Chain A
Amino acid sequence: QVQLVQSGAEVKKPGASVMVSCKASGYSFTGYAINWVRQAPGQRLEWMGWINPGGGNTESSQKFQGRVTITSDTSASTVYMELSSLTSEDTAFYYCARGRYGDPLDYWGLGTLVTVSS
């Protein structure tokens, strides 16, 4: 069965960076893109970006350009999302979700809570 297992909760100070991982199993890793979606407390879901592990191409929302880096390791079936220059507004649950470009997000990880606090 398809599973996306994310890394554990993180607490970071303002200005720092955080890296969240998402390990995929149960399907062909290079056949589907992995998207990153975040949800701040009480807020709507927010699409951040995606990567196609098969081709390595990636794209991020203009809101996060320059701050977010999405990479993949096909040998480990794992995608990484790094967010830099953190502020308190980046406190949120970060989800990885499977979905090809222009397709819905059909499987989701359980989420990783990132807390930014001095």
Chain B
Amino acid sequence: EIVMTQSPATLSVSPGERATLSCRASQSVSSNLAWYQQKPGQAPRLLIYGASTRATGIPARFSGRGSGTEFTLTISSLQSEDFAIYYCQHYDKWPPWTFGQGTKVEI
């Protein structure tokens, strides 16, 4: 089973600032990496897939990079609605398609 590790656990930023979240896979997942946003009491929402492709309707301030084992999600200028928990997930080759433990982006 591939282990996904995210850092930091919590990121404290101010509105308008840039946020960079990291995700590491215990073995290569190629570019088969997705990022999800989850707000309290809500289901996760797909933000990024293929490591760098924004999902439908996702603002351009969200960007993803990386391949292999190292990935980043950048939010270029944080808006109030971006404060949430972000999870990475691999979907490479075969299941289980594991998630990271999440990074909470807080004010």
Q: Which residues of A contact B (CB under 8 A)?
A: 35, 37, 44-47, 49-50, 59, 61-63, 95, 97, 99, 102-106, 108-111
Give residues in B with beta carbon < 8 Å to A: 1, 32, 34, 36, 42-46, 49, 55, 87, 89, 91-93, 95-102
- The 17 sampled A-B contact pairs (Cβ below 8 Å) are A37-B44, A44-B101, A45-B99, A47-B89, A47-B98, A47-B99, A50-B95, A61-B95, A63-B96, A95-B43, A95-B44, A103-B91, A104-B46, A104-B91, A105-B46, A108-B44, A110-B43
Do A108 and B89 have beta carbons less than 8 Å apart?
A: no
Chain B residues with Cβ under 8 A from A45's Cβ?
A: 36, 44, 87, 89, 99
- A102 adjacent to B43 (CB under 8 Å): no
B30 → chain A, closest Cβ, in Å?
11
Chain B neighbourhood of A97, CB < 8 A: 43-44
Contact of A46 among B49, B93, B99 (CB under 8 A): B99
State the Cβ distance, B21 to closest chain A Cβ, in Å: 14
CB-based contact B98/A108 at 8 Å: no
- A44 closest partner in B (C-beta): B101
- What is the distance, in angstroms, from B88's C-beta to the closest C-beta of chain A? 10
Shortest distance from the beta carbon of B94 to any chain A beta carbon, whole Å: 8
Bound form: Cα–Cα A106–B50 in Å: 12
